[in-house]
C-alpha cells in the first residue's frame, strides 16, 4: 500500500457554516419528510398540482382508471374470503369488547369502504382488532359496567374510537408517524403473543360454560377463578368447544348468527360531555397506537414472512406511513359516526387477503358489500350462535398470533430483542394488557436510551501491508503502533454519554500504560481519537473532549484527532477546541495521523514541554 | 495512494461468536462498571483487599494519614468562608422551604460531616439547595399547609429527605448513576436559571413587604399579585431591600441570625405511616434527582469555568459518580434522622469553597464546626433578622445562577442545546417548577430519541489521488464514481430508525437515478453501503436491509456492503443475510468495493440477470 499518505498528510478544513435557517430547514425536512412526498409536485403547472394533490390524499382516484377486470376477479375471490372471516370475527371481537355483536358487523362495513378510498396499501384488510377489543373492555370497564349501563358504555366506546381516529389522523398530518417506530418489532411480537394468550385464557369462560368469572386478565387470577369452580365446569361445552376449535384450526371455515339493517348514524352518541371523557380519550389514544402498530406495519411483516417468493412485480409499491395513518384516522372518525368501534388492519385477516391473491383495495369493497348483504338479509341466521362458538373463533384467530418461531429467530439473531419480546409477553400474561403495554414501551425506550448512554470504544490497529486501521478486537491481525494509542468512538458524543466516554477513555489510557509498563515497550506518547464514526456532538460532548485533552496533556501525552465530520469540526471550531489542540493535529485519516506521530517520534523524540507548557510529570 | 487495494481486495471474515454469557458479562461490565472501579483490588491479598474496600467506601481513611498542616491552613480559610455563607443561606433557604429557620442551620452541621467522611470530591461544599427548597415547599405545600399544620409539614419534609437519600444511595449501589446524565448540561442551565428567576420573583413578597401573596410560582400569577396590590407596597422595605441586595452583590459578605443547641434527633418524626407518604416519596425522588444533578456534576462545571487556570496538580483526581451518590444518599439519610432537610452540593457555595483555596473535604468539617459554634452560642443574634434581609440573601445567591453567558455560548456552538435550555427556563418561569422539570426531562429524552430516530445518511465520493472515500457534502473535492452510488449510514440501525432508513435509502437511489437521467451519465449499477459507522443492528434493522436488498435487486442493481463491524456481521450472518447477498460482495473498505464494481463494470458489463434471476425491468 502506498506511502503517499505519509508524504502529504491532509489536514481537515473547517467547512463554511450554513445559515441557521438553511440548516434548520434541511434538518426539519430530514426529520419530517424523509421520503420527500412532494417530489412529484415539483415543476408542475398548478392544475396538474391540484390533480396530483387529490390523488395523493385519495389514492383511489389515481388507481381506479387503471383498474382491470383481471384485477377484479382476484379481488372478488379474496374479498369474499375475508368477508367469511369478517362476519364471525366481527361478532366475536365485539363480544370480547363487551359491545353488542351487531357493532362488530357494522365495523366491517363502513371502515373498509373509507379505507379503500384513502389507503395506499393493496393487501391490508380492514377489520376489528382482538387486542384493541380487549383493551377497550378492560379500560372502559373500569369506569362503566357494560352490563349495568350498556348505553353509556357503548357511547364511551364510540367516543374513544373517535379520539383514536383523531389521534391517528393528527399523527399523520403532523408527520409524527415515526413515534410508532418506537414500538419495536420484538416488542410487538411479545405484546401480541401475550395479548393472544390472555384473550385465549378469557375464552375458557365460554369454553367451560362458566357464568361467574374474574374481571382480571392476568394468568394467576384466571387460573384461580377457573380451578375454584371445578364443580361448575360444564363438560358438554368444553367438549363442544374443543371439537369446534379443532375443526376451525383444521378448516378455517365455519358456521356463523342479529338485527337486520345497515349501520345507523351515531354522531349523537359521541359523549363529549360525559364525566368519563378523560377515560375515553386515554382509551382512544392507547387503542389508536395499538391499531397503528399492528396495522400499517403489516406489509412489512408480510415481506418478512413471504421471503423467497417472487411477488416483486405487484409488491413494487411504496407505502407512506404518515398517509396511512391519516387514512386509518379518517376511517375511525367515520366509523365512530356510523356505530362502528375501533378498526385497523388485523394481521390474520390481512395475511388471508394477501394469500387469497388480492390485487387492490377493491377486496375491502367486496368484503364490505358481502357484510352489507349479511346485515340486510342474513343476520337472523346468527341469532342462536352459542357463546362457545364465539370463544372458539377468537381462540383460533389468537393462536395464530402467538409467534413462537419469531421468538426463536430473535433468540438466535439478537438476544436483547428476545428479552424485550419475552418481557412484553410476561408483562401482559402476568400483569394486565395495560401493564404489558407500559412494559413494552418502557423497555423499548430504555433500550434506546441505554444504547445511547453506553457507546462502545475500540482500540484500532494497522492491517498489515495497508494504511487501513481497524478494531483489534474484530481483526486480531491488526498491529499496535508502538507509542501510539488509537481509539475509535462508536457513537455521537453528547450529554447522555459524555461522562461515560470521559471515564472510558481515561481507562483505555491507563490500561495501555499498565500494559506498556508490564511489557517494557515504547512508552505512550500519542492518543489518536478516530472520530469518523462520531456523527454529532453537543456542548456537553465538547466539554468532555476538552477535559480529555487536559487530562492527556497532564500525563505528558498529545491528543490527535482523525477524520472529524463536517458538523463536529464546525462545532469544535466554534467552541475554540481546535485552537487549543492546534489545527495541525487534525488529520483526514488515522493513517496520516499515525505517520505524523511516527515522524515526530523517530526524528525528534517529542519533548512534551514543546507540546504543552503546562505539562506535569506526575503521570497518574 | 497505492493501487495495492485494487489488486488484492480483502473480504471480511465473520468473527467467531462469543458465548452468550461471556458476551453478557462483558456488556454488563461496560454498562455498569465502565471505570473499572475494582481495578486496584486485582491480584491483592485478602487483607489488603479489605483495607482497600474500606478506603473505597470511606475515602477519609485513605487521605487522612497524608493530611498536612499546610492543607489544614487552606481548608481552615475556605471552611470559615463557606460557613459565613452557610449560616445566612441556611436560614433563608429553610424559610423558602417553609421550614423553621433553625432547620437550615441544623442542615449545615450533620450532613457536611457525613460527606467529609464518605465523599470523594475535594471541592464540594455541602449545604441546602434553593431549588430543592422551592420544590419541597411547592410539592408538600399542596397536601399540607405549613402554617396550619407545621408539625406534620416538618415531618413530611424529613420523610421526603429520607426517601431522597434512600433513592440517591440505591442509584449509586445499583450503579445506575448514569440516569442523571440524561439531564443534559443545557437543560440544567435552563432549569436552574428558571428556578432562580422564580425564586427571585417570590422574594418580591419580602422585598415589597407584602402580606398576602399568590401561592403560584409562574411569572404571570406573581406579577398579577404584585401589581394588584400597588397601594400596599411598602417603599421602606423595597428601598432597604434594594440597598441590601446591592451591598450583598458588591461584597458577598454579610451580617447574619434562634434557639441555642445542636440538632435534636428526629428518627421518631419520620412519618412512614402518614396518609401523605406517597407525596413524600414523590417529593423525595424529585428533589433527590435535583440534588444529584446540581451536585456531583459541580466539579465538571468548575473545570469548565476555570478553563485556562492551571490547577492540574491538585485537580488531578477522579470522582466516581456512583460512589458520590452513595455519599449523598448516606448524608441525607443521616440528615433526616437529625432534624436536617435535603442537602446537596450547591454550585455557589462550592465555587466559593474552590476559589477560597480548599484542599480537601476538611473545609466541610471546618464549616460544620463553625455552624456548631453558631448553634451553641450565636443563634440569639439572628433572632431579629428582617424577612427582607433573607429575601436579599436569596436573591444575591440566585442572581449568580442565571447564567446568561452560558446561554450565549450554547447559541453559538449548538442551537438545539440552546433551545432545550430556553425551553426548560420558560417552562419553569411561565409554568411551575414541576412543569419546568418535566419539560426539561422530556425535551432531553425527546432529543435523544429524535436523534436516534433520524440518523443521517451521506453520499460518499473519492478524494482525488487517494483511495479515501468521504462525504461529498463535507469535501466538495470528492468525486462521484460513475455507475456506483456509495452511501454511508451514520448510526446504529435498529427499530427506531429502520423504517426511516428504508425510505431514505430508496430516496437516495431514485434521486441518483433522476440525476443520471437528466445528465445522461453512466446508468446506475451498484449501491455500496458503507456500514463502518453502524455500530449495532437489531432484528428490525436486518429486516430493513433485506428489504433494501430486495428493492435494489428489483431495480436490476447490486447491493455491496463495505466495512461491517464485528457485531453487525455476526448478526447478518446468523440471519442468513450474508448468504442472500453473497459473501464475495462484502469488502473491508469502500475503495475495495468500488474497485470490484469497476472491474465488473469495465471488463464484463454486468448482466443483471447473472446477479439476480428474479430481476424485473420495471424500474420505479
Share in percent of chain B as helix, strand, coil (round to 5): 65, 5, 30
A4-18, B200-214, B507-521: which has the highest mean pLDDT?
B507-521
Any residues with CB less than 8 A from the CB of A230 and at least 6 apart, and which?
A: none
Contacts of B452 in chain A (CB under 8 A): 448, 451-452
User: Which chain A residue lies closest to B572 (C-alpha atoms)?
Assistant: A413
Q: Which chain B residue is nearest to residue A179, measuring alpha carbons?
A: B496
C-alpha cell at B161: 429527605
pLDDT at A319: 65
Buried b (16+ CB within 10 A) or exposed e, A542-577: bbbbbbbbbbbbbbbbbbbbbbbbbbbbbbbbbbeb
Range 473-502 of B in CB contact (< 8 A) with A: 473-474, 490-492, 494-500
Q: Does B620 touch chain A (CB under 8 A)?
A: yes
List all residues 6 or more positions away from A470 whose beta carbon is below 8 Å from its beta carbon. A460, A461, A463, A478, B588
Q: And the C-alpha cell for A530? A: 478516530
Q: Give the tens place of pLDDT for each residue, B270-324.
A: 888 888 888 899 999 888 888 877 654 444 444 433 332 223 333 445 567 778 8
pLDDT higher than threshold 50 for residue A300: no
Put simply, the answer to whether A185 touches B495 (Cβ < 8 Å) is yes
- How many Cβ atoms are within 10 Å of A517's Cβ, its own excluded? 11
Residues A120 and B265: their CA atoms lie apart, in Å, by 71
Separation of alpha carbons A295 and B16, rounded Å: 39
How far does chain B reach from its first CA to its final CA, in angstroms? 39
The answer on pLDDT for B618 being more than 50 is no
Q: How confident is the model at residue A606 (pLDDT cuts 50, 70, 90)?
A: very low
* pLDDT category of residue A253 using cuts at 50, 70 and 90: very low
Contact A459, A489 (CB under 8 A): no
Q: Tell me what the mean pLDDT of segment B36-58 comes to.
A: 79
The answer to which of A76-85, A485-494, B299-308 has the lowest mean pLDDT is B299-308
Reported confidence tier of residue B211, pLDDT bands at 50, 70, 90 = low
| Interface contact B185-A495, CB threshold 8 A | yes
Q: Which of A197-211, B3-17, B52-66, B102-116 has the highest mean pLDDT?
A: B102-116
Distance from CA of B576 to the nearest CA of A (A): 10
Grade residue B248 by pLDDT with cuts at 50, 70 and 90. Answer: low
> What confidence score (pLDDT) does residue A244 get?
67
How distant is the alpha carbon of residue A210 from its chain centre? 39
Q: How confident is the model at residue A21 (pLDDT cuts 50, 70, 90)?
A: confident
The pTM of the full predicted model, rounded to 2 decimals, is 0.75
B3, closest residue in chain A (CA to CA): A1
| pLDDT recorded at residue A8 | 54
Q: Phi and psi of B126, rounded to 5°?
A: -85, 145
Q: Does A444 touch chain B (CB under 8 A)?
A: yes
The share of chain A scoring above pLDDT 90, in percent, equals 10
Contact B504 A533 (CB under 8 A): no
Judge: B450–A532 Cβ closer than 8 Å, yes or no. no
pLDDT at residue A513 greater than cutoff 80: yes
Nearest to B575 among A413, A416, A547 (CB): A413
Residue corresponding to grid cell 440517591: B168
Q: Name the minimum distance, in Å, from the CA of B553 to any CA of chain A.
A: 10
pLDDT digits (tens, 9 = 90+) for A109-126: 999 999 999 887 777 888
Nearest to B185 among A185, A540, A588 (CB): A540
Q: Which residues of B touch A413 (CB under 8 A)?
A: 539, 542, 571, 574-575
- At A297 the pLDDT is 45
- Using a CB-CB cut-off of 8 Å, the residues of chain A touching B542 are 413
Task: Look at B285 and A606; give whichever has higher pLDDT.
Answer: B285
Substitution target in A182, A305, A494, A588 with the highest count of B β-carbons within 10 Å is A494
Please report which residue ranges of A97-184 form alpha helices under DSSP H. 101-106, 110-118, 130-140, 150-173
Q: Indicate if the pLDDT at residue A610 is higher than 50.
A: no
Please answer yes or no on whether B186 and A538 come within 8 Å at the CB atom. yes
pLDDT digits (tens, 9 = 90+) for A38-64: 777 777 788 888 888 888 888 888 888
Beta strand residue intervals within A30-157, DSSP E: 127-128
Section A250-255 average pLDDT: 47
* pLDDT score for A160: 94
Of the two residues A307 and B155, the one the predictor is more confident about is B155
Partner residue opposite B35 with nearest CB, options A187, A312, A503: A503
Residue A602 pLDDT level (bands cut at 50, 70, 90): low
Model confidence at B33, pLDDT cuts 50, 70, 90, reads confident
* Mean per-residue pLDDT, A157-178: 88
Residue of A nearest to B312 (CA): A554
Sign of the dihedral defined by the CA atoms of residues B422, B425, B429, B435, in that order:
positive
**pLDDT at position B258, please?**
56
Dihedrals phi, psi of B122, to nearest 5 degrees: -95, -10
Identify the residue with better confidence: A172 or A258. Answer: A172
Helix B219-227 vs helix B415-430: crossing angle, to nearest 10: 40
B313/A15 touch (CB, cutoff 8 Å), yes or no: no
pLDDT at B309: 29
- What pLDDT does B13 receive? 72
Q: What are the cell numbers at A463?
A: 492491517
Whether residue A146 contacts residue A153, with contact meaning beta carbons closer than 8 Å, is answered with yes
Q: List the single best residue of B13, B298, B325, B414 to mutate versus A (max A Cβ within 10 A).
A: B414
Yes or no, beta carbons of B34 and A470 under 8 Å apart: no
Minimum mean pLDDT among A121-125, A228-232, A533-537, B210-214: which range? B210-214
Residues 455-474 of A with CB under 8 A from B: 455-456, 463, 465-468, 470-471, 473-474
B5 CB near a chain A CB, below 8 Å? Answer: yes
- Mean of the per-residue pLDDT values of chain A: 78
Chosen from A415, A503, A543 to mutate, greatest number of chain B CBs within 10 A: A503
Q: What is the pLDDT of residues A340-366, one digit of tens each?
A: 999 988 777 877 887 788 888 899 999
pLDDT at B133 > cutoff 70: yes
Q: Where are the alpha helices (DSSP H) in B174-276?
A: 185-207, 219-227, 235-251
Between A278-287, A409-418, B109-118, the lowest mean confidence (pLDDT) is in: A409-418
Q: Give, rounded to a whole angstrom, the gap between the first and last alpha carbons of chain A.
A: 38
Nearest Cα to Cα of residue B115 among B321, B358, B361, B282: B361
Cross-chain Cβ contact B185/A539 below 8 Å? yes
Vertex B46 angle, CA B44 and B47, to 5°: 105
**DSSP letters along B534-575, please?**
---B-HHHHHHHHHHHHHHHHTT-EEEEE---HHHHHHHHHT
Select from B535, B548, B579 the residue whose CB has the most chain A CBs within 10 Å, as the one to mutate to test that interface: B535
Please, what's the largest Cα pairwise distance for chain B? 98
B546 touches chain A (CB under 8 A): yes
Q: Residue B476 in 3-state DSSP?
A: coil
Closest-CA distance, A489 to chain B, in angstroms, reads 10
Rounded to an integer, what distance in angstroms lies between the CA atom of residue A131 and that of residue A195?
Answer: 6
Whether the per-residue pLDDT at B235 is higher than 90: the answer is no
Q: From CA A344, how far away is CA A192, in angstroms rounded?
A: 14
In chain A, helix, strand, coil percent, each to 5?
Answer: 65, 5, 30
Sign of the torsion formed by the C-alpha atoms of A198, A203, A207 and A213? positive
B431's grid cell? 409554568
Q: Do B554 and A5 touch (CB under 8 A)?
A: no
**What residues contact B385, with CB distance under 8 A and at least 6 apart?**
B91, B255, B256, B257
CA distance B490 to chain A (A): 6
Contact check, Cβ <8 Å, B532/A533: yes
3-state secondary structure string, B272-328?
Answer: CCCCCHHHHHHHHHHHHHHHHHCCCCHHHHHHHHCCCCCCHHHHCCCCCHHHHHHHH
Whether the pLDDT of residue A179 is over 90: the answer is no
- Of residues A612 and B453, the one with the higher pLDDT is B453
d(CA B428, CA B401): 14
Q: Tell me: pLDDT of A613 over 50.
A: no
Report H helices in B97-149. Answer: 101-106, 110-118, 130-141
Q: Is the pLDDT of residue B229 over 80?
A: no
Nearest CA in chain B to A542: B413
Q: B98: burial class by Cβ within 10 Å (0-12, 13-18, 19+)?
A: buried
CB < 8 Å from B in window 273-312 of A: 300, 303-304, 307, 310, 312
Domains of chain A: 67-445 (no CATH), 454-611 (3.30.750.24)
Q: Where are the beta strands (DSSP E) in B331-402?
A: 343-344
C-alpha–C-alpha distance, residues B294 and B301, integer Å = 10
Beta-carbon pairs below 8 A across chains A and B: 256
| CA quadruple B90, B95, B99, B100: dihedral sign | positive
Of A449, A466, A495, the CB nearest to B184: A495
CB within 8 Å: A410 and B539? yes
Amino acid at each position: 500500500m502506498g506511502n503517499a499518505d505519509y508524504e502529504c498528510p491532509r489536514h481537515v478544513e473547517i467547512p463554511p457554516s450554513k445559515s441557521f435557517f438553511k440548516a434548520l430547514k434541511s434538518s426539519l425536512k430530514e426529520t419530517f419528510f424523509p421520503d420527500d412526498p412532494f417530489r412529484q409536485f415539483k415543476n408542475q403547472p398548478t392544475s396538474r398540482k391540484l390533480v396530483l394533490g387529490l390523488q395523493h390524499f385519495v389514492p383511489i382516484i389515481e388507481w381506479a382508471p387503471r383498474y382491470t377486470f383481471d384485477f377484479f376477479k382476484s379481488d372478488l375471490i379474496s374479498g369474499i374470503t375475508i368477508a367469511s372471516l369478517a362476519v364471525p370475527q366481527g361478532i366475536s371481537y365485539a363480544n370480547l369488547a363487551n359491545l353488542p355483536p351487531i357493532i362488530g358487523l357494522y365495523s366491517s362495513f363502513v371502515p373498509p369502504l373509507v379505507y379503500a378510498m384513502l389507503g395506499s396499501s393493496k393487501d391490508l384488510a380492514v377489520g376489528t382488532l382482538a387486542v384493541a377489543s380487549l383493551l377497550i373492555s378492560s379500560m372502559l370497564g373500569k369506569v362503566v359496567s357494560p352490563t349495568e349501563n350498556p348505553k353509556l358504555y357503548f357511547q364511551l366506546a364510540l367516543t374513544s374510537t373517535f379520539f383514536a381516529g383523531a389521534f391517528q389522523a393528527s399523527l399523520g398530518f403532523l408527520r409524527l408517524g415515526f413515534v410508532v417506530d418506537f414500538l419495536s418489532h420484538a416488542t410487538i411480537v411479545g405484546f401480541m403473543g401475550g395479548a393472544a394468550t390472555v384473550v385465549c385464557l378469557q375464552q375458557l369462560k365460554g369454553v367451560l360454560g362458566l357464568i361467574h368469572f374474574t374481571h382480571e386478565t392476568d394468568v394467576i387470577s384466571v387460573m384461580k377463578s377457573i380451578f375454584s369452580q371445578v364443580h361448575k365446569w360444564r363438560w358438554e361445552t368444553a367438549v363442544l368447544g374443543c371439537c369446534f376449535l379443532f375443526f376451525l384450526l383444521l378448516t378455517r371455515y365455519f358456521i356463523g348468527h342479529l338485527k337486520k339493517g345497515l349501520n345507523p348514524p351515531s354522531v349523537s352518541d359521541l359523549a363529549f360531555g360525559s364525566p368519563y371523557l378523560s377515560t375515553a380519550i386515554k382509551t382512544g389514544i392507547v387503542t389508536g397506537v395499538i391499531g397503528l402498530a399492528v396495522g400499517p406495519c403489516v406489509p412489512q411483516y408480510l415481506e418478512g414472512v413471504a421471503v423467497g417468493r417472487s411477488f416483486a412485480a405487484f409488491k413494487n409499491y411504496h407505502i407512506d406511513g404518515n398517509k396511512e395513518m391519516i387514512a386509518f384516522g379518517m376511517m375511525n372518525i367515520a366509523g365512530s359516526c356510523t356505530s362502528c368501534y375501533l378498526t385497523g388492519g388485523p394481521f390474520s385477516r390481512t395475511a388471508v387477503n394477501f394469500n387469497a391473491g388480492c390485487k387492490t383495495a377493491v377486496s375491502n369493497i367486496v368484503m364490505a358489500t358481502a357484510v352489507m348483504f349479511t346485515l340486510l338479509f342474513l343476520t337472523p341466521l346468527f341469532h342462536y350462535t352459542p357463546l362457545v362458538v364465539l370463544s372458539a373463533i377468537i381462540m383460533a384467530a389468537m393462536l395464530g398470533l402467538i409467534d413462537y418461531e419469531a421468538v426463536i429467530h430473535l433468540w438466535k439473531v439478537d438476544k436483547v430483542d428476545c428479552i424485550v419480546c419475552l418481557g412484553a409477553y410476561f408483562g401482559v400474561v402476568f400483569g394486565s394488557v395495560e401493564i404489558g403495554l407500559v412494559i413494552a414501551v418502557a423497555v423499548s425506550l430504555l433500550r434506546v436510551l441505554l444504547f445511547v448512554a453506553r457507546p462502545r470504544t475500540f482500540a484500532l490497529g494497522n492491517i498489515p501491508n495497508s494504511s487501513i486501521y481497524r478494531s483489534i478486537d474484530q481483526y486480531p491481525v491488526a498491529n499496535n503502533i508502538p507509542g501510539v494509542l488509537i481509539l475509535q468512538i462508536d457513537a455521537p458524543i453528547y450529554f447522555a454519554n459524555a461522562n461515560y466516554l470521559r471515564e472510558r477513555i481515561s481507562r483505555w489510557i491507563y490500561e495501555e500504560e499498565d500494559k506498556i509498563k508490564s511489557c517494557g515497550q515504547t512508552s505512550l506518547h500519542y492518543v489518536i481519537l478516530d472520530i469518523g464514526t462520531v456523527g454529532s456532538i453537543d456542548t456537553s460532548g465538547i466539554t468532555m473532549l476538552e477535559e480529555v485533552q487536559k487530562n492527556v496533556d497532564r500525563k505528558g501525552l498529545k491528543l490527535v484527532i482523525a477524520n472529524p465530520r463536517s458538523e463536529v469540526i464546525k462545532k469544535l471550531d466554534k467552541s475554540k477546541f481546535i485552537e487549543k489542540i492546534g489545527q495541525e493535529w487534525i488529520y483526514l485519516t488515522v493513517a496520516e495521523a499515525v505517520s505524523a506521530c511516527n515522524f515526530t517520534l523517530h526524528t525528534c523524540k517529542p519533548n512534551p514541554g514543546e507540546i504543552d507548557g503546562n505539562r506535569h510529570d506526575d503521570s497518574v
